[in-house]
Amino acid sequence: MQLKSIFTNSFGILFSRVTGLGRDVLMASALGASIWSDMFFVAFKLPNLFRRIFAEGAFTQAFMPSFIASRHKGVFATAIFLRFLLFLTAFSLLITFFPEPITKLLAWGWSSEQIAQTAPLTAINFWYLDLIFIVTFLATLLQYKNHFATTAMATALLNISMIGALWLYMKEDPQTVAYALSFAVLMGGTLQVLAHIITLHHFKLDRLFSGGWKYRKVKDVEEEKRHFNSLFLPGILGNSTPQISAFIDTMLATFLMTGSVSFLFYANRIFQLPLAIIAIATATVLFPAVSKALKNHQEEKAYENLKQAFWLLSFLLGASMIGGMLMAEPIVWLLFERGKFTSVETLETVSVLRMYMIGLLPFGLAKLFSLFLYASHRHKKAAKIAVYSLITSVTASLILMHPMGASGLALAGSIGGWVLFIFTVKEVGFDKFIAIVKTKYSLYFMIIMPIFIVLIYFINQWVLTIIR
């Protein structure tokens, strides 16, 4: 297992997420959990949804196996890049001229006045989708060369741009702050693109595009493009269950009390931190290696990587899940309770965070096991499993949202995560899962976790006596 690359990638993601938390702290102070914070989060939700779908592996896991197998890599890469970019540009222009219908789709429960106020923000933020596609595409080429640091660190450029906007405008009225944040999103995306172009040139991968354009009429690549097309949509669906579920939850939250959209956003930001720096970082690094191993019929090597990564994730995500549930109140208090973010909003966010944390371990392990489905071109199987998870999550959201509010929506997402994990393991093979579990590490896990629970419980009680 490529531990050095995993830790490098994890450090980069950690740096990006820390700057993201800094951004959210300032945002909570400037906007609190108010109507304007809800409006910005709704406007940013769709491009952010696609950012997570693209940047966290969905596009890569559809593109990488086809790219590895391609005999005309430059032509294939150029063709896919131009096709997606032209489509996204046309879509973004459509949203720019007609932003209200998509805004209404994002916030069903809002009044026409709120929709009209949010629509311009939606039009501005939507262009980030084009930028993040370019970033993700270039990042995939860098991953092929086993370079992960640039992509891991680049998200910090978005956060730094937004922090700068907050620093300059946080004392202005909430509307001005929301618009400043929206333009900062585009500035951050542009900086991310530039960082990847510079790194691409360093690795001389820019020659792929020049070669791909020069020899773009090679007919053999048509079959490769058709193969990619057959993998792409199932790959997107199979990889994006948590994001689609969160997207639907945001829409449902607009029917709940004011601030519910913000409670979900702030809690999910904390939830995403361990998921990204542990599970996503590991899966990102392992995927090219697993794809190449399976292509070369080296299954034992691929499954040895799975075994080592499984226990790394189990210990780290298990500890994070326990810590997040038991210490939710001190964490939210430390990060957000200042300015316009009150103690009442802290308690609401704490409740949501605890429900999210229930799904941390299954989502992370499902991400790991799904590598083998995508590396072996079983994208349709992964998509089918994702549909099961999504149906479960949405059904549970509709049942739990009224008795539990935003916390019910978060719990529903976690339930969907467990369904995703169970069915993914079943498809990869329960025999392989049992072989991994039947080791000495299971005993270590059962001994260490109860001790960790007791330790964190007493630490939490001590911290609560200080902050209350």
pLDDT (tens digit per residue) in 370-410:
888 887 778 788 889 989 999 999 999 999 998 998 999 99
**9 burial via Cβ count (<10 Å: 0-12, 13-18, 19+):** buried
Residue showing tokens 């005309």: 72
pLDDT at 437 over 90: no
The pLDDT of 283-302, averaged and rounded, is 77
Residue 218 has pLDDT above 60, yes or no: no
Lowest mean pLDDT among 215-224, 266-275, 410-419: 215-224
Share of the chain above pLDDT 70, in %: 94
Q: Report the alpha-carbon angle 14-153-361, nearest 5.
A: 35
| H or E segment and range at residue 84 | helix 73-97
Q: What is the pLDDT of residues 341-377, one digit of tens each?
A: 888 888 999 999 999 999 999 999 998 888 888 877 7
d(CA 151, CA 5): 13
Going by pLDDT thresholds of 50, 70 and 90, the confidence category of residue 33 is low
CA distance 383 to 241: 9
The more confidently predicted of residues 30 and 267 is 267
Per-residue pLDDT for 316 more than 90? yes
The pLDDT confidence band at residue 226, using thresholds 50, 70 and 90, is: confident
Lowest mean pLDDT among 67-71, 76-80, 233-237: 233-237
Quote the CA–CA distance of 459 and 324 in Å, as a whole number: 13
Average pLDDT, the chain: 85
Mean pLDDT of the region 279-293: 79
Q: Give the Cα separation of 381 and 103 in Å (integer).
A: 32
**What is the domain count for the chain?**
1
pTM comes to: 0.73
Q: How far apart are CA 401 and CA 384, in angstroms?
A: 26
If you average pLDDT over residues 295-313, what whole number do you get? 81
Is the Cβ–Cβ distance between 184 and 242 less than 8 Å? Answer: no
- Of the listed ranges 69-73, 84-88, 176-180, 184-188, the one predicted with least confidence: 69-73
Average pLDDT over residues 231-259: 78
The arithmetic mean of pLDDT across residues 151-169, rounded, is 90
Q: How far is CA 214 from CA 78, 155, 209, in A?
A: 10, 32, 8
**Considering only CA atoms, which of 321, 267, 325 is closest in space to residue 460?**
325
Instruction: Please give the backbone phi and psi of residue 203, each rounded to the nearest 5 degrees, phi first.
Output: -90, 5
The predicted model gives 53-79 an average pLDDT of 75
Tokens describing residue 188: 């951050």
Taking the C-alpha atoms of residue 78 and residue 57, their distance in angstroms, rounded to an integer, is 20
192 pLDDT more than 90: yes
Is 189 in contact with 132 (CB distance < 8 Å)? yes
Q: Distance between CA 322 and CA 459 in Å, rounded?
A: 12
Q: Which residues contact 313 (CB under 8 A, 6 or more apart)?
A: 278, 279, 282, 364, 365, 368
Report pLDDT for 57: 59
The answer on pLDDT for 40 being more than 80 is yes
The Cα–Cα gap between 37 and 27 comes to 8
Q: Looking at 11-15, 80-84, 130-134, 241-245, which range is the least confident one? A: 241-245
Which candidate, 269, 332, 324, 300, places its Cα nearest to that of 452? 324
Instruction: Name the more confident of 295 and 361.
Output: 361
- The better pLDDT of the pair 239, 85 is held by 85
What's the CA gap between 205 and 434, in Å, rounded? 42
* Max mean pLDDT range (127-141, 282-296, 372-386): 127-141
Examine the pLDDT at 121 and tell me if it is beyond 70.
yes
C-alpha 407/C-alpha 414 separation (Å) is: 11
Average pLDDT over residues 269-278: 87
Q: Which domain holds residue 417?
A: 3-467
Which band of pLDDT confidence, cut at 50, 70 and 90, is reported for residue 468? low
